[in-house]
């Protein structure tokens, strides 16, 4: 960086840092306001998610390279960043990240399933990030807990950002986000396991692998952050030319089912350019039946339209039916329900 430019930047930067030191709450207020703005913008214009997600990922470099950046700033500008400012910067990043991803998970969560637990924890983490007594007195002093909080936030950010920025599928994004979060859990585990034995390293590696395996098994409880249903229908009629379903049915007779079969119609919103394979899983009274694969592509504002037509039903089709819309990784996008009666 040219010396003259550095010299010209020093006075305004010093004034900014002095202002922040005198009014430390300004950073927290700015973080909350910008996080709320991210929430509202993403909810209304999903195309802005690509820009915002890129900003979120870049901001994480600050935490990773904090010591190097502090030394570099001291060398360039002739002063060290005060620790309180760094703490507020970290809080700001958590606020930005959590409030950015929250609308995606709120939209994609199937609320009458285990996914509600994950989204509830995410919302609680967002509230902690804007509640100073909890953030600074309960969370920050416990280093292992703070690093766990940090890894969980990064996991949620990657689940949202990877499909949008790199056009990865939902299974690929989940695997990469889980691997990253598991590796970043190493400092937390290191702080918990304080024994001084030769097998400490083996135990740490084993715990990281166990954490990754647990995260993979729990994927059914994690909403697919960038896939959600915009329109659904269970119907006996379908207009193939216009790709439009007939009247939605919540209940039908066994005779209707056998005579006409049944269409399960879903319109799935996905980021631009995303190619994804999903499944319609037909379930009868809790028992899984057919798994029908469908390929979807992102880009249509109202969601990519896909449907399955089931004609083969059991001899006794009475009871409660579900059509679960699943990703290849086993994450539920949504569910359609109907009942067959006499």
Across the 342 residues of the chain, what is the mean pLDDT of every consecutive 10-residue run?
53 65 62 60 54 64 63 68 70 81 88 93 92 87 82 88 82 92 76 70 83 91 89 89 87 85 88 78 88 80 83 88 92 92 84
Return the pLDDT at 79. Answer: 62
Report the candidate in 210, 63, 215, 206 with the shortest Cα–Cα distance to residue 152: 215
Neighbours of 278 (CB within 10 A): 24
Total domains present in the chain: 2
Q: In terms of domains, do 152 and 238 share one?
A: no
Q: In terms of domains, do 100 and 208 share one?
A: yes
Q: In terms of domains, do 182 and 37 share one?
A: yes
Using the structure block, give the residue that is written with the tokens 């003259």. 4
Q: In terms of domains, do 126 and 10 share one?
A: yes
Domain-terminating residue out of 193, 221, 249:
221
Q: In terms of domains, do 47 and 81 share one?
A: yes
Q: In terms of domains, do 252 and 118 share one?
A: no
Return the pLDDT at 3. Answer: 45
Return the pLDDT at 1. Answer: 43
Return the pLDDT at 10. Answer: 60
Q: In terms of domains, do 189 and 256 share one?
A: no
Contact in structure between 276 and 296 (CB atoms under 8 Å): yes
Domain-terminating residue out of 199, 221, 243:
221
Return the pLDDT at 44. Answer: 46
Q: In terms of domains, do 169 and 265 share one?
A: no
Q: Which residues form the domain of 272? A: 228-341
Q: In terms of domains, do 105 and 251 share one?
A: no
- Could you tell me where the DSSP H helices lie in the chain? 3-22, 25-44, 49-64, 66-77, 83-108, 115-129, 132, 143-166, 170-184, 186-192, 200-217, 254-260
């Amino acid at each position: 960086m040219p010396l003259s430019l550095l010299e010209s930047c020093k006075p305004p930067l010093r004034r900014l840092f002095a202002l922040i030191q005198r009014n430390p709450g300004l950073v927290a207020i700015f973080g909350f306001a910008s996080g709320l703005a991210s929430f509202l913008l993403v909810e209304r214009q999903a195309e802005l998610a690509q820009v915002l997600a890129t900003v979120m990922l870049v901001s994480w470099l600050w935490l990773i390279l904090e010591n190097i950046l502090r030394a570099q700033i001291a060398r360039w500008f002739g002063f060290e960043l005060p620790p309180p400012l760094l703490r507020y910067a970290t809080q700001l990043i958590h606020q930005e990240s959590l409030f950015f991803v929250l609308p995606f998970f709120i939209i994609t969560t199937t609320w009458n399933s285990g996914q509600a637990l994950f989204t509830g924890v995410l919302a609680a983490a967002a509230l902690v990030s804007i509640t100073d007594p909890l953030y600074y007195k309960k969370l920050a002093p416990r280093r292992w807990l703070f690093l766990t909080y940090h890894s969980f936030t990064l996991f949620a950010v990657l689940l949202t950002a990877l499909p949008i920025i790199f056009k990865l599928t939902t299974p690929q994004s989940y695997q990469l986000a889980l691997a990253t979060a598991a590796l970043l859990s190493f400092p937390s585990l290191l702080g918990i396991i304080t024994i001084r034995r030769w097998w400490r390293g083996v135990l740490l590696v084993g715990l990281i692998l166990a954490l990754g395996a647990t995260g993979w098994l729990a994927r059914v409880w994690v909403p697919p952050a960038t896939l959600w249903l915009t329109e659904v229908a269970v119907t006996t009629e379908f207009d193939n030319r216009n790709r439009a379903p007939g009247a939605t049915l919540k209940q039908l007779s066994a005779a209707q089912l056998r005579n006409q079969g049944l269409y399960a119609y879903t319109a799935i919103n996905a980021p631009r350019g995303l190619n994804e394979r999903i499944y319609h899983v037909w379930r009868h009274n809790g028992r899984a039946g057919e798994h029908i694969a469908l390929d979807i592509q992102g880009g249509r504002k109202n969601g990519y339209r896909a449907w399955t037509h089931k004609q083969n039903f059991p001899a006794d089709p009475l009871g409660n039916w579900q059509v679960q819309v699943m990703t290849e990784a086993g994450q539920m996008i949504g569910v359609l329900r109907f009942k067959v009666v006499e």
